[in-house]
Structure 1
Amino acid sequence: MADLQDDIPRTTEAGEGDDLPDDPFPDDPFPDVPFPEAAPRSADEALERAHALLTAHPVADGYSGLPWALRRLPWCDLERGEAALATDVPRLREGRVGALFWSLHLPEEPGGDRVVTATLEQVDQARSVIDGHPEGLRLVRTAGQIIDARNHGRVAVLLGPAHAGALGGSLGVLRMLRALGLRVLTLTGTDWAGAAGLTRFGEEVVGEMNRLGVLADVSGASQATVERAVALSRTPVLCTRSAARALRPHPANLPDELLAALGEAKGLCMVPLTAEQTGPTVRDVADHLDHVRDVAGPECVGLSGTYGSGATHPRGLADTSRYPHLIAELLRRGWSEAELALLTWGNVQRVVRSADFGARLTQHRGEGARARTTEPDA
């Protein structure tokens, strides 16, 4: 098979090791590309510069609905390309995507113990798909493995976010999901993470997530839950699908005060490429990215494709091959190379590495698992 670094023809558009380092946050291993800071003079120049920048600093996409979308297909070959999907390996390469978070969410969350079973089935399917496409995809568990996958020409896949209900009220299930590769859990929609915020058990869940290196996702959570999770967590908190409520009053979008608090805590707001949350055009998405950067800071903003989730995407951003066009728009707006490198790759790498380091530090100190296994009222 040809080298995976070779160019792959355009498809039709569908609409570090793991040892604890001395420095827990080393510099990005990919070399900087010296771009002039002046805005590009033409659309072609902007797109050329976007491609070059993304070659050095690829996209780490914060939310992919691919596992659920694949359930509709009796068979797939993601390495050759799938016209029925918005995500496949050729389009990931064309879009310069280096890492993906694969959502384990379910369109309709089943009740009771069934949600645990359904989530485990999602994990099983995701791992089977990755195993079936070894030339293009690689399951990763740590920030170091993300870098290694990138260096070997593979797209790194991280499992999560999963719904909080997937725990079934049990810290033991959380530990088992982490053993299977889970990296992100969404804190919403349960008795212990609801409108009133986190209960005592919810706080124990966050503590155990920190110990295990599982990142907290608060997209769609109540303001009380967001505020408490940000204050309580010893590692950065994510919003895997949140834009600016000041620009578009969607319930999953964040008001400026929460964006500022997230930025102060070195968390990460990953702006979704959906018409419902950000607007119908590339410029609308760029407006949200501008706003989050200005309110929370350039270290608090990331990208969330949400491809495969059933969402409608802005014109010009129909699939994962289109990321360079969004970056070109940001270049025309005067975003610097340093800011774009953080947006596409650096911020996700920092957050995952921070969770890895925090988990190893906790284990090094000999802090054991939480004594309570199951929620008292479960």
Structure 2
Amino acid sequence: MADLQHDLSRTAAADGFDDLAEPYPDEGVITAESYEPVSDPDDAPLTRAHAILAAHPVADGCNALPWALRRLSYYDLELGESTVDTDVPRLRGGHVGALFWSLQLPEGLDGDRAVGATLEQLDRAKTVARTCDEGLRLTATAGQVADARNCGRVAVLLGPAGAPALGDSLGILRQLHLLGLRALTLTGVSWASEAGLTRFGEEVVREMNRLGVIADLSGASAQTLRRALSLSRAPVLCGRSAARAIRPHPVNLSDDLLAELGAAKGLCLVPLSAEQTGPTVRDVADHLDHIRAVAGAECVGLSGTYDSGSAHPQELQDTSCYPRLIAELLRRGWEESDVALLTWGNVQRLLRSADFTARAAQQRREPSTATISELDG
């Protein structure tokens, strides 16, 4: 139980971690200093957008394609599927290089039913990827994402799943990770509530760090978000949050939380959702402008929310439409280096940081055997 008292705060980076070699070299990771502009003689914004995206594709933080396909008896994603927002031709047309597949659950599920439904979602996602192996590739690490892109495939990362998928068990968390789960949303459970993280919730975050599962804090309370920021050694993610100062949606973030997220090197992925960002592509660009100004260029990314049931802004109806958004940002004077961070570089940094943190933590910490009854009972 001594492990439970070991606080893996991010500030303790010298606790024996300094002698560990970074497993992922800096090559291939985009920073504002290392970015080389795409050479393109045509200054038309849409043409420039396609050129930039060809070099630095979109890493989409939330896509629910497996959930949308559950109602179809037959589909062909390679050829094209008009009944959904996502298929291989449109992914390629939109220059999408990676997707997080959200493992959505029906409302109100908890306990064993939530665990079972999540396993079914994982099975469905793997089946979809297997039947579309010419266009998609399941991945679990930053290196595998880069390999998939180099092979002309769209990398698929499984998650986020909802916290009820754990069934309040760290053992189930480990098994979900073995099945490929890469991100977990910390909402909808007793140990991550409006009051913040309980002792068991803190232990979940530590175990996620040890495994390399990314904490998604969209929809979490301010108390939960702040405690996770201070506790997690790996950067956290807000996978579908925009700026509350522009549009007061409950999942959007206030400026003070955005600033704290940026200071902690976390990532806010702005959803292409009319409800959260507004009805036009210009509204989405307003949120991206605002978050970049408040939290920094290394804190902002994109979350399509395609096939999740959300209505999308005009001109952004499906996954082929990302160049239109990038063109709007270029018209507003965004530097190409910031666009490259927005679309690809920031998510790659997040994945690499999570992988490195896991490798380091596994040298210090055994799998936790804590239970919710021990810590919160």
Aligned to 2:24: 24
Deviations 1:247-291 (A, max 9, x none): 000000000000000000000000000000000000000000000
Gapped runs of 5+ residues in structure 2?
Answer: 1-19
- The one-letter code of the counterpart of 2:26 is P
Alignment of 1:140-219 (within 5 A): 140-219=139-218
Deviation at 1:110, TM superposition (A): 1.3
Alignment of 1:285-324 (within 5 A): 285-324=284-323
Task: Give SS of 1:188's match.
Answer: coil
Deviations 1:158-210 (A, max 9, x none): 00000000000000000000001111000011000011000000000000000
Identical positions, percent? 66
**CA 1:33/1:95 → structure 2, altered by over 3 Å: closer, same or farther?**
farther
**CA 1:318/1:258 → structure 2, altered by over 3 Å: closer, same or farther?**
same
Deviation at 1:25, TM superposition (A): 4.9
**Maintained 8 Å contact 1:32/1:56:** no
**Maintained 8 Å contact 2:186/2:220:** yes
**Maintained 8 Å contact 1:210/1:358:** yes
Aligned to 1:10: none
- The one-letter code of the counterpart of 1:295 is V
- The one-letter code of the counterpart of 2:142 is A
Aligned to 1:239: 238
Deviations 1:15-62 (A, max 9, x none): xxxxx9646351326996634899x86xxx100000000000000000
Deviation at 1:72, TM superposition (A): 1.2
Task: Give SS of 1:266's match.
Answer: coil
Determine the C-alpha separation between the residues in 1 that align with 2:25 and 2:226: 26
- The one-letter code of the counterpart of 1:273 is L
**Maintained 8 Å contact 1:171/1:374:** no
The question of 1:34 aligning with 2:57 is answered no
- The one-letter code of the counterpart of 1:367 is R
**CA 1:110/1:281 → structure 2, altered by over 3 Å: closer, same or farther?**
same
Task: Give SS of 2:99's match.
Answer: strand
**Maintained 8 Å contact 2:272/2:284:** yes
Aligned to 1:369: 367
Task: Give SS of 1:254's match.
Answer: coil
Determine the C-alpha separation between the residues in 1 that align with 2:312 and 2:105: 20
Determine the C-alpha separation between the residues in 1 that align with 2:319 and 2:40: 26
Gapped runs of 5+ residues in structure 1?
Answer: 1-19
Report the TM-score when normalising by structure 1: 0.90
Report the TM-score when normalising by structure 2: 0.90
Superposed CA RMSD in Å reads: 1.9
Aligned to 2:348: 349
Deviation at 1:65, TM superposition (A): 1.1
Deviations 1:120-159 (A, max 9, x none): 0000000011111110000000000000000000000000
